[in-house]
Structure formats: structure tokens, C-alpha cells
Amino acid sequence: MKLFIVSCGALLLTGLGLMGGEVIGVTEPVEKVDLTFPEAGVIAELAVKEGEAVKKGQVLAKLDNRILEVSLKIAQLRAKSDAAQKAARARLSTKRRRLAELERISKGGGVNADELFRAKAEVEITEADLMEAEVQAEENGLKVGQIQVQIERRTLISPINGVVERTFRDEAEAVGGGSDLVMTVVRLDQLILVIYVDAEMVGSLKVGQKVAVRAMVGDEAGSAEVAFVSPVTDSSSGTTRVRLLLNNAQQKHRSGVKYRVEVESGE
């Protein structure tokens, strides 16, 4: 009887009494994403439940954003207002007209130099006031964007199409920023099978090749595609890591189930 080391994670299966040409792997999701909030807060809403299918970009949960939402409205009002710029432009227009009039009069000697100097200085000061009002308006717009980003960071979005495998928190529960796991989303339209193949068999496996697989529980059968064959053989076990992809678009196969994989002898 041959001894094969086969694994998903660091699973070691020995003494299985398998026929030559069969190894065992365990199915796992093709994608698994653990989700946390990057900021600390109190969960205001859990929008999904365990086992629920979700779409990429879908809102899964939100922190309490009431203070930020009020701040956003204030910032938006300030960003929309151009009163300060209008007032500065009106003052500048008045100062420029006065300066132009004084310059005209000064040609006939009717204006002293100090008065003309003050008029020029007032124009320059008012120009600076207008520039400051324009900078403030730009800052107000940036403040709106900053608060919107803060709110987005406090909203949990699904990065993939998949299924909510598990939720770890409840509504009204406080979470730490980046440290407390909120939920796990998995993609199950494909499953991964990782097997460790004896050196005598690995030569028969090529990327893209189809191999027959069958569940050890439930007896569900299918065909998996070789996605990766490690270029390195483990010296202690004499086995090579191989990753298979099992199509699961019809949701016939379950993750976490042991599967027999038929591998032809390389001899």
C-alpha cells in the first residue's frame, strides 16, 4: 500500500487504504475574504445574514455615522456658498474703479502721492482677500470629500460576488478599527482542491488537464482542472503540491468536504 500525504491547509492523511492512482484533498472556497472596519465605532446596521448571497459592491454593514453625516451637511453648505467670493469681488471692483479715477485725476496734479499710494494698497489688499476667499472655497470642497471618505471607510462593502459564510458581530456592538473581524464572505462558484501527489504520479499532471473527482461524503462527482503544479517536491514526504479548480456554478459541491482525486501513474 502506498502512503500519500494530501492536504488542504496542513492536513495529513495516512493509512487510508486508497487504490493506486487516488489521492485525497479537501474542498475550500476559491476566494475567502475576512472583513473588518478600518475605523473604530459602533455597528449601526448589519444589512446581511449568514448564508445570504451578496454582490460585489453591496453594502454589508455600517457604523454609526450620525455625527459625520451632520458634519457633511455643514461642509456641503459651506462648499456651495460663494458669498465670501462675491463680496470680495465687489469690494475689489469698487477699489479698482476708485484707483483708476485717482490715476486719471493725478495726471492733472489734483491728487497727492499719499492718497494714490493708499488707493493702490487697498486694491492689493482686496485682491489678497479675494484669493483667500477662493482658497477657502476650495478647502470647503475638499472637506466635503474628506468626510465622504470617512463615511465610506465606516461602510463595509463586499469586494466579491459570494456568500456570507459567517457574521461575528451584532448591531449596536462596538468594534475596534481594523482589529475586530465583522464577517467572512466566500466565493463558491469554484472550489479549490489542494492535493499532495507522490513523485511517481506528479509527472502525469499538467496545467489545464481535467481529472475526475468524487466526494467521500454524498458521493458527488465532477471534473476538476489542474491549475498549478508546484515545481518543488518536498524532500521529507516525496510529494508535490497540486492545486485543482472544481467548477461549482450549480452549487452541487460543498466546501470543506474530502474528495477522491484520480491521478494516473506517471510510470
Higher pLDDT, 211 or 7: 211
Q: Exposure string (b/e) for 109-136, b if CB count within 10 Å is 16 or more?
A: eebeeeeeeebeebbeebeebbeebeee
Nearest to 22 by CA among 265, 267, 263: 263
- Is the pLDDT at 2 greater than 70? The verdict is no
Q: Determine the Cα–Cα distance for residues 179 and 36; give it in Å rounded to an integer.
A: 7
Is the confidence at residue 166, as pLDDT, over 50?
A: yes
Tell me if the pTM is above 0.75. Answer: no
- CB-based contacts of 86: which residues, under 8 Å, 6+ apart? none
Contact call for residues 229 and 206 (beta carbons, < 8 A): yes
The dotted CATH code for 22-37+180-262 is 2.40.30.170
pLDDT of the residue at 7: 37
Residues 229, 202 contacting (CB under 8 angstroms): yes
Question: Quick one: DSSP state of residue 87?
Answer: H
Percent of the chain residues topping a pLDDT of 90? 71
Alpha helices in the chain (DSSP H): 66-80, 83-106, 113-153, 199-202
Specify the DSSP element, H or E, that contains 231.
strand 221-233
Tens-digit pLDDT profile for residues 167-201: 999 999 999 877 799 999 999 999 999 999 988 78
- Phi/psi of residue 163, nearest 5 degrees: -135, 140
Cβ neighbors of 264 (< 8 A, separation 6 or more) are 21, 201, 204
Burial class, 49, CB count within 10 angstroms (exposed 0-12 / middle 13-18 / buried 19+): exposed
Strands 53-54 and 162-167 come out as antiparallel
Quick one: how far is CA 210 from the chain centroid? 33
